[in-house]
Amino acid sequence: MNLSCVLGAAALSLMAAVPAFAADQPLVGIVSISATEANNARYIAGAQSAAKDIGWQVSVVDAAGNADQANAAIQNFAQRGATAIVDMVFPYTSIGAGLAAAKAANIPVVTWGGGLGGSVAATNGSGGPMTVPVNELMIKNMDGKGSLLELTYHTGEVCRNREIELDNALKAHPDIKTTKNEVRIPGYFEDGAQYANAWLASHPAGKENLAIWGCWDDPSIGAIGALRSQNRNDVKVYGVNGNAQALEDIKKGLMTATAWQDSYTEGSNMVKLLPEIVKAGAGWTPKAVEVPAVLVSSENIDKFLADHPAALK
């Protein structure tokens, strides 16, 4: 089967996944890189709640980490006359075909972590700034030396930017030796465990400072499974996003720190902005509407959970 047939079949599948919607109720189409991943799910829940408040309805397509499927989904939403479209994490540079279709139909596209560029009207959830406090704490805890396993993901703009921030921070610490492994979506838990197992084999306990960094929590959580199976408590583990499992692991002493991303509020804020974007039309000026992250570690986990009890749900 050639590529056009494959993409055509994918487009038909995605079209079937998008339900019909009432003509008198605006539709926001959401294209997620992984709709079941905890942080994505929180964003979608926030978007759905806000859509209900403003009288819109939501349809979600899970592109399963595939940029071709994301483009097909955006094109299908454009064909169906969606009022606005949300791209979750796919870089705007990877969804050119979808952006072109939406632009031709005068449908605004906003991104969560996909960057502000091309014809994107607004963005939030930008990855780079969120990892900075995690990086700083990790380098401090390593005393500027040792070995680091980085669990990366290059399909998502958020992870690309977080990796760039870490690379820049490590330039001043050449005594930290890094190993990079790329995880998959789906499969990030399994990949995190597999890469950690291989890395631990060549990094025995008691020789140097050791750390594992995930560009979001879930690969690091997978790595924690490997650490526990090998009874290794000498490796500090860091993530970003602050999903419920990561927070539980910090409370149990299994993870060192994460940066909690209030993705529910990000999803809510973005959808509430959509009517304003639609009304402004060509007069809209693209902008970022960021929500700051919160560094969570063993030092503040109890207070954080007291202040944000819903974070464990």
Q: Where do the domains of the chain lie? A: 3-123+263-290, 128-260
Token digits of residue 26: 């605006």
Query: Is there a common fold for 3-123+263-290 and 128-260?
Result: yes
Average pLDDT of the chain to the nearest whole number: 93
20 or 216, higher pLDDT: 216
Q: Is the pLDDT of residue 195 over 80?
A: yes
- Round to whole Å and give the CA distance between 305 and 144: 30
The band of 23, judged by pLDDT with boundaries at 50, 70 and 90, is: low
| Cβ-contact 156, 88 below 8 angstroms | no
In Å, what is the CA distance from 129 to each residue of 117, 241, 267, 301?
Answer: 18, 12, 18, 21
Backbone φ and ψ of 257, nearest 5°: -165, 155
Q: Is the pLDDT of residue 115 over 90?
A: yes
The confidence score (pLDDT) of residue 15 equals 44
Least confident stretch, 14-18, 156-160, 175-179, 180-184: 14-18
The confidence score (pLDDT) of residue 239 equals 98
CATH architecture of 3-123+263-290: 3-Layer(aba) Sandwich (3.40)
What percentage of the chain has pLDDT greater than the value 70? Answer: 93
Q: The tokens 């483009």 sit on which residue?
A: 71
pLDDT digits (tens, 9 = 90+) for 261-301: 999 999 999 999 999 999 999 999 999 999 999 999 999 99
Please compute the mean of the pLDDT values over residues 36-61 and round it to a whole number: 97
3 or 241, higher pLDDT: 241
Q: Is the pLDDT of residue 11 over 60?
A: no
CATH architecture of 128-260: 3-Layer(aba) Sandwich (3.40)
